[in-house]
Amino acid sequence: MSLRGDVCVVTGAGGFLGKRLVRLLLEEEKMAEIRLMDKHIEPTVLHTLEDCKGDTNLSVFEGDIRDSEFLRKTCRGASIVFHMASIIDINDSVEYTEIYGVNVKGTQLLLEACIHENVVSFIYTSTIEVMGPNSKGEPIVNGSEDTVYDCTLKFNYSKTKQEAEQRTLQANSEVLQNGGRLATCALRPMYIYGEGCRFLLGHMNDGIQNKDVLFRMSVPEALVNPVYVGNVAVAHLQAARSLKDPQKRNAIGGKFYFISDDTPHVSYSDFNHAMMSPLGFNIQDRLLLPLRLFYVFCFILEVLCMMLRPFVRIVPPLNRQLLTMLNTPFSFSYQMAKRDLGYVPRYTWEEARKHTIEWLASQLPKERERIRAK
């Protein structure tokens, strides 16, 4: 089902995944208009899209996702919303009121704007972290949408993303102002990598400062399955096409889907090494501390930061929940998305790795120079 002639809104359009989706939409669909919504869009973003823009109108909407009037203006006349904007915070460094306001309240206001402005399709970009792992570090291997897992989320990021996802799915079949019905679905990508991934860049910078030796923060047997950004963008396109298809719309509305690809199952630390070893980086053989001692160390850090909280806010660089996430086998299959959405990874592991390494290689001289200049 084609999106030809549609008007769509992409929130978080200036971000890592948002820019990739906008380019894909321009290359594959003859849409009437794509609205790039974010708190700020760099002028270079539009410039880099000129080569594939064609006849599609690209509009920039800069504003606060917590502003209901701004959201209604952005959604007016649109038929599809890709909601990617959120605060990503794995260290609990952002105040809860701020992350809740953007991730939950912003999503709720956007859903209300869609209902008021008769937007018929809403795709929410969720995350694997709404599933866990739990504080016990109980593993999941090739899980599915039917996997039952006991988890009380610890990160404010995970909790707010989970609530936003729930609100999105509950809004499915809400009656629009014109009497139509809103259809919603949520996509749960694994850890997303690729050109522009700030986490990979951060690990590379740490390695540079450690004499080109990457830190090992996860044991080799803690297997996960990262997903390439280009394949995540394809999954969003397929979700939009499926929601527009009258025969599929009711079947997928109100559901969530795990999004992975054929990237090999590997630990987070060994994944970083797979990306950076061609650039001359090695990796530590073992964790800085035995895992149990590492947990004790993180606990002490957390207690100290809590004691200082009345006087100064210090965020520890590592906490127990993050250490659990890095050291728990946690992988999921994309077969349900393949069956219901027609999603098939477009980029092989070899292609994804090649593109990512080339991007990292282009960044390496600048990062070395920046670190030397400190």
> The tokens of 329 are what?
């086998």
Task: Return the beta strands (E) in the chain as ranges.
Answer: 7-11, 33-38, 57-62, 80-83, 121-125, 140-143, 183-189, 192-193, 213-214, 227-228, 255-259, 282-283, 330-332
Q: Is 68 left (phi over 0), alpha (psi -120 to 50) or beta?
A: alpha
Stated as kind and residue range, the H or E segment containing 112 is helix 106-116
What gap in Å lies between CA 113 and CA 244, rounded to an integer? 19
Marked catalytic residue, from 100, 124, 157, 191: 157
Q: How far is CA 211 from the centre of its chain?
A: 30
Concatenated DSSP letters of 145-170: TT--------SHHHHHHHHHHHHHHH
Is 347 among the catalytic positions? no
3-state secondary structure of 193: strand
What gap in Å lies between CA 171 and CA 79, rounded to an integer? 16
What does DSSP say about strands 183-189 and 80-83: parallel, antiparallel, or unpaired?
Answer: unpaired
Q: How far is CA 140 from the centre of its chain?
A: 20
Let me know: does 85 contact 40? Beta carbons within 8 Å: no
3-state secondary structure of 171: coil
- Which of 205, 222, 211, 206 is closest to 291 using CA atoms? 222
Catalytic residues: 157
